[in-house]
Chain A
């Protein structure tokens, strides 16, 4: 995943995060692979756009993706504290 500065965030379509829900799942088996044994983090974001309209956005991350996601937020917290 990209770090800061490599792409400018879109300025006109900012939403506010109202809630974040998560679950840690384990995919056991599927029709294409009988032995998946694959842990994943599923996240549900509840966001409100500038007009107040609320929508849900769900997505999944592998464990390494989640660890990167978490690390990026720790970096954001460290920076925002110093500004």
Chain B
């Protein structure tokens, strides 16, 4: 009940106090132990519950490097830098799969523009109501 409701410490104290008053409920020593356990493990427990609710592939890793491609046309040397990005994905309990993508500078900037839109949305969501 405590984990499922993601109780904060005030809610926890109220809940445990109510449990000690119930017939067949817990003792105040037991309440103290549960309270201590929840306070020290809340974050890890929550993380585990969140992971259990994630069924899509998660991003497990990202590696990249930038290569300078050279080509000659007539007598001119043309340098076209490319970024190689390797993404590692995986679903909970399954092995990773990898995707290697090649980007030129134009494409990198297009991606950056999209990612800045995501960040704007996140900032708007996190604004206090």
**Which residues of A come within 8 Å of B, CB atoms?**
1-11, 13-17, 20, 22, 24, 26-27, 30, 32-42, 45, 47, 57-61, 63, 65-70, 72-74, 76-77, 79-81, 83
Contacts and interface: CB of A to CB of B under 8 A. Distances in A.
A76 B83 CA distance: 7
Contacts of B3: 33
A33 B102 contact: no
10 contacts: A1-B61, A2-B63, A27-B53, A33-B49, A39-B122, A68-B62, A76-B103, A79-B83, A80-B66, A80-B105
A8 B84 CA distance: 10
- Interface of A, helix, strand, loop or mixed by DSSP: mixed
Interface of B: 3-6, 46, 49-50, 52-54, 56-66, 68, 79, 81-86, 89, 98-103, 105, 107-109, 111-112, 114-119, 121-122, 125
Contacts, number: 158
A35 B11 CA distance: 13
B58 A2 contact: no
A79 B59 contact: no
B22 to A, nearest CB: 21
B50 A47 contact: no
A80 B83 contact: yes
Contact of A83 (B79, B98, B99): B79
A78 to B, nearest CB: 10
B98 to A, nearest CB: 6
Contact of A24 (B50, B62, B112, B121): B121
A41 to B, nearest CB: 6
A14 B64 contact: no
